[in-house]
Amino acid sequence: MSKMIFVNLPVRDLAASTAFYVALGGTVNPQFSGEKSTSLIFSDTIGVMLLTHDHYREFTKRPIGDARRDSQAMIALTVDDRDAVDATVNRAGAAGGRADPNPAQDLGFMFNRHIEDPDGYVWEIVWMNPGANA
């Protein structure tokens, strides 16, 4: 079995965050979604779980940080081509995200931009040409 990654995020507004992550490219998995959480599938190996703050607190005793104020993580998500970077950021921005909280990076063989979700989590949308020499 391939290794999988599930990103679990506490969110303030489950409906708004769900709309953002659908625009980012996720598909809602109703089997693991409900009033307190939304499960989104990005690929066979990548999932994002959005949890209301109250539900998230059931899994940790640590305080929930403010991603709008402090950088906590930058999660990279690849797309198929360079144009898909712009299309994904634009689509997610129209769904409540904030485009380009960090500068874009164009190295020729790799291009990325960033999108901030409604809670302040920053996603790096990346296209890479794996056959190019850096």
* CATH for 5-61+71-128 (3.30.2270.10, 3.40.640.10, 3.10.180.10, 3.40.50.170): 3.10.180.10
d(CA 19, CA 12) in angstroms, rounded, equals: 13
In tens digits, the chain (134 residues) has pLDDT values of 788 999 999 999 999 999 999 999 999 999 999 999 999 999 999 999 999 999 999 999 999 999 999 888 889 999 999 999 999 999 999 999 999 999 999 999 999 999 999 999 999 999 999 777 65
Extents of the domains making up the chain: 5-61+71-128
Residue 88 · residue 115 · CB < 8 Å: yes
Strand residue runs (E) in the chain:
5-11, 27-28, 37-41, 46-52, 74-78, 98-99, 105-106, 110-116, 122-128
